[in-house]
A = this chain, B = another copy of it.
Amino acid sequence: MSKAKATSIDIAHLAGVSQATVSRALRGSPLVSQETRERIRAAAEQLNYKVDKNASNLRLQHSGTLALLLFEDPTTDGSNINPFFLSMLGSITRACAQLGYDLLVSFQQFSNDWHADYADSKKADGIILLGYGDYLAYRARLEKLVEIGTRFVRWGAVQPDQPGVSVGCDNFSGGQAVARHFIEQGCRRIAFLGDASSHYPEFFERYRGYAQALQQAGLEVDEALQVDAESTQLCGHTAMSELIAREVAFDAVFAASDLIAIGAMSALAEHGYKVPVDVPVAGFDDIPMARFASPPLTTVLQDTRSAGEVLVQNLLMMIRGEPAQSVMLPVKLMVRQSSVRPS
């Protein structure tokens, strides 16, 4: 039909008013009379007019958009995105839609430089940072963000000395719960699969919870029972194989994430171990796959739905200039077959 898109001036001509009135009418200003408003609305519909967001955003100095930045360690195999973060993505999208914001999604995995630019270039009003990253490597950047006044929230371990606002689950309690669950069943040599250094604060918190539960039960925390692993099935498989190769005794496996746990279970199967009879296994995250693993995987549920809501709400508070605080969300142990020895 019309080749060029209609502008508010076209609408103004058609409706016999000025451009200013068109703008006011379409934004719902009370200054416009009901009759004029209706005429303008009709004209706009007739020409398929839509407000030009670029012009509008430029004028208003905000974009009505949030950016979601998913960063994963580039060392991961790059194949598939961690399902846990996909769940988060879904809940964040939902929360954004409910609150009237659009969402820009970017995977650090796929691009080189930090798209924190999204906010600096006014393409987004704020940023959500998501990922099990090597936190220390990003710390300087977070501090830079704070310094130049970029609004952002981070999903991850909630620690007192962090720059900016974080939202995360209670990884410590989750780790504790898993360890206690094993201990109650009489396990005494519980392996931990996952990076236990402070570079990965979330895994580290899970490890600390695990270690404390062991100590409270009077059990030794044996370094030989801990194997580093990033959150992929492949790493889980490798780490489990490594543990078996060490030939140390173990009677339970706590994997720091579900993907690691699933990889570990496949390695156990290959080596002839039956789960849970020979060795019970538990993971962390409760990704959808966990329920359908064989056997169904015991894990720690992170409530992604409220996590997404809290992230977005906190970010919007910051954008509005209100003070926002870090939040730690509760977790829940989901006991399934993989961790329960038949009595």
Contact = CB atoms under 8 A, between A and B. Distances in A.
Interface string A291-302: 011110000000
A87 interface: yes
Given A93-B105, A97-B111, A5 B120 contact: yes
A341 interface: no
B292 A262 contact: yes
Nearest to A297: B292
Contacts of A149: 1, 3
A63 interface: yes
Copies of this chain held together in the complex? 2
A107 interface: yes
B288 A117 contact: no
Given A53-B123, A292-B293, A106 B103 contact: yes
A55 interface: yes
Interface string A117-134: 110111100000000000
Contacts of A94: 107, 110
Interface stretch (A78-86, A151-159, A214-222, A313-321): A78-86
Nearest to A63: B54
A90 B80 contact: yes
A52 B122 contact: yes
Interface string A1-33: 101010000000000000000000000000000
Interface string A260-299: 0010000000000000000000000000110011110000
A185 interface: no
A148 interface: yes
Interface in A230-275: 262
B289 A53 contact: no
A343 interface: no
A105 B101 CA distance: 11
Interface string A133-162: 000000000000001110000000000000
A122 B57 CA distance: 11
A197 interface: no
Question: Closest 9 A-B residue pairs measured CB to CB?
Answer: A294-B294, A50-B120, A97-B110, A54-B58, A54-B57, A53-B123, A50-B121, A53-B121, A97-B111
9 contacts: A3-B149, A50-B121, A52-B122, A53-B122, A54-B54, A54-B58, A55-B58, A89-B89, A97-B111
